[in-house]
Structure 1
Amino acid sequence: MVKRVTVACLLISMTLLYCLSTLRINFSPPELPVPLSCAPQPGQHNTQSSTNGRQQDNNICVPKVDLMFMKTHKTGSSTFINILFRFGEKHKLKFAFPSSRNDFFYPSPFQHTYVQGFKSGMCFNVICNHMRFDASEVAKVMPRDTFYITILRDPAELFESSFHYFRHVVPLTWRIPGEDKMSEFLRDPKLYFSPNGINSFYLKNLLFFDFGQDNTLDPDDPRVEESIRLIGERFHSFILMEHFEESLILLKDTLCWEMDDILFFKLNSRKESTVSKMSPELRAKALQWNGVDWKLYKHFNLTLWEKVEAYGRERMAKDVAELRRRNAEMVEICIEGGHSVAAGNIHEDAMQPWQPIGEKSIMGYNLNKNIDKAYEQLCRKMLTQEIQYLTDLGANLWLTKLLGHVRNIINW
C-alpha cells in the first residue's frame, strides 16, 4: 500500500510538473529576419570549410550544415540524431535546443519561442529534437535554405513499438482485457480508441500526427493526399528505417558528407523478448488501422527507390557494403563483447538509455576496455545516449532529468 501511494504521488507530481512546464507566456517582441546562415567560415576550424548549401568550389564538394531533422517517434531516430550530434561537434555548429526538456513541448505544435534562449534574429544551424511539426514556426528559427530531413518506419512495426513503449501513459489501453493487449486492441480498435483520449495519438497514425496533421482522417480523405504533397515539398530527404543504410548513402551524397560522418551503432533497441511477433493477419489489421501512415510510407518508399535507381544499384550496393564494413570495424573497436546488453548490465551512466515507464526493456552498450587512444573519443560519442549527449552539448534538461529520477524510482 505504501509503495502504491508513493508511486501515485510521484505520478501526480510528474503530471503537475509537465503541465507547469508547458505554460508559455505570450510575448511577441519585434521579429528580425532569420540570417541566411551562421555556418563557420573557411579557416575557422580545421575541417573542410562549410557553407549553407551543396556547392562546388574548385571542384570540392562543400558539406551542407544547416539542417532540420524532424525526429519522429519509434523510427530509429535516436540512431540518426547521434550522427547529427557528432557532425555538429565536428563542424562547430549551433544547435537549437528545447528549454528544460528533451523535446519542444510535444505534443503541442512547435513554436519558435520554445527554443532555448531564443531571441529574434538569432542564427542556428541544426534543430533535431522531438516536436510536432509546424513549417511556418520552424522557418522563424532556421535559415531559408535549410535542408529538411525526416525518418519513416513501416507503420505496422511502428504501431507495435509505440503501443509497447507508450501504453503506460495512454489511459485508453489500461482497460483492455487479457495479456495480449495489442492483439485485443486491433481486433476492434474502435471499441477502445477515442480521438479525445489522453495521449491517444500514440495509437493511430503517429507519423502523420508528428508532421502536424490530423491523424484521425480516413485514408481516402482528399486532405491526406494534399498533406502528403505538402510534406514532400517541405522535406528534402526521407530516411526509411527499413532501408537505413541506403538512405544514409543517398543523404551523404546529397549533403557532401564523408563516410566517417555516417558511421553508427543502433541505439534504443528493445529486448527481443519484448517485441510482439505480428502474424500476417495482425499486420494487415495494424496497417488498416494506420492507413494514413501506410499511405505516407508507401509514397516515400517509392521515391527512395527512384533515387536509388538514379544513384545506381551497383554503386549503392558497393557503398552499403563499405558502410557495413566500417561499422563492423567500429563495433570490434568500441563495444565490449560486440553486442548490446540489458540496462542492468550497463556500466556507465552516459550509456544508459531512457526507459519506458514501469520497465527496463531498452538495451545499451558497454565501452571496450583499453581502446586505442585514436578511437577512444569517437567510440564514446557513438555510444553516448541522447539525453546525456544533449547535456554535453549544452541543453538545459532539468525537467527531463527530474522525470528520469522519478522513472527510475518507479522502475525499481
Structure 2
Amino acid sequence: MVERNRRYIKKLFQSCLFLCEKNWAQSNMEDLVKFMGRTCDADIKSVLAEDSITYLSSTSVSDIIKVLSNFFEQKTLTQLREENFTLLADESTDQSNRTQLSVFARWITPHGPREDYLGLIHEERTTSEALMEAIERFLMGKMIPFQNVRFVGLDGCNTMSGCNKGLQRRIRNVSPLCIYINCRNHRLALCFVHLLKNNSILIDVDTLLLAIWKTFHFSPKKAAVFESFQEVYGQRPINMVKAATTRWLSHLHACVRFKARYETLLDTMDSLIESTHEPEMRGIRSSMTRKQNVAMILVLTDVLKPINYLSLYLQEDCGVVSELPTRVKQCRDDLEAIIQQYRQGNYEGLEFSKCEDLFFIIDDRAMLARRNRSHAAEVTPAGFLEVHGIPLIYNLITEVEDAFYV
C-alpha cells in the first residue's frame, strides 16, 4: 500500500510537470489523472477507486507546482552560484501601473549557452540608485555572488545606461570586471520614437492605428460588426494588431492589415456611427479618410519591411556582432532603394502602389461639398512623397546610423 501511494504521488508530480511544460491550465490536472486511471495506469485507478484523498484539488495541485518550482529554482541557482554570468534586466509598467523589473541570467554550460528567468522585482522608484539596491537585495536573497557578473545587458535609457550614475555604472562599481552591453533592439526601437517627436502626421497615424485596435479589442460587439463586414466582402476575418511604439513588427502588421481591410473598416465605422452615434467613431473615420494619414501608412508598410529584417536579426540568438555593420548597411541600402523608386514614380513591388486606389475610395465616399472645400489643398501621391514620405525615410536612415555608429 505504501509503495503504491509513493508511485501515485510520483505520477502526480510527473503529470503536473507535463501540464507546466505544455502550458496547460492546472484545472486540467484532475481530468488528466482520471483519464490515465481509466486507460493505462493501475496504481492511479486503484487510488481513485479506494481512497478519498487523491490530492487533485486546486490547492493540492498549486502546492505541487510550488514544490516543483522550488526544486528547479534551487537546481538552477546551485549551478549559477559557481559560474560567471551575464545579468539581463528590463523595467516595465503593468496595466495596474506597478513598476516591475524582470531579471534574467545567461551563462555557458557544457551543453552550450543557457538563459534562465530569475524573477520579478517590484519597485516604486525607478531611479538608478533604487534599482541597484533592489537588484543587490534580489541577488543576495538568492545567494548569487554579485562579483560573478561579467556582462550586464540593459536598455538605452539614461537611468540604465548613464555613464556616471546609471545602473550599468553602479553594477560595474560592484563588479569591476563587468562589461556593459546596450540592447541593440532597444536602440532600433528608439529610432521610431525619435521620429514620432518631430512628425505630426506620424503621430496622427500612430494614434489612429491604436484607436482602431482599441475599438475592436475592448468591444466584442463592435468586433462582431467588423467580422460580419469582412464576411460580406468574402474576406477571411482577421483582428487588428496593436501598434506598439517600441515594436517594429507590430507597426508593420497593423499597417498591412489597415491597407488590406481599408474599405471594410470604413463600412464598419459608418455602421457603428449610425448605430451608436459615438463621437469617437466619427473621429476615427475622419482620421481614416485623411489622405495624408493613408499615404503615410502605405509609406510605413514599405519602410518597415527592411527595418523589421534588421530587428529580427538582432533578436536572433546566433547574431554575430562583427556582422552588425553589414546588416545595418544592407538596411540603409534597402531604404535608399525605396527612395529611388519613389522619386522615379516606379511603385512596382511597393505597397505605395495602392495609394491611388485608396485615394479614389476616399474621394468616392466624401460628400461633394467637402470635396469642393478641400479641392485647393488636394493631396497627390507624388506630392506627399516629396514633402513628407522621402524626408521621413532620410530621417530614419540617419537615426539608424546614429544608433549603431555606422
Q: Which has the higher helix share?
A: 2
Higher relative contact order (CA closer than 8 Å, sequence separation 6+): 1
TM-score surpassing 0.5?
Answer: no
TM (norm. structure 2) is 0.23
Q: Which has the higher strand share?
A: 2
TM (norm. structure 1) is 0.22
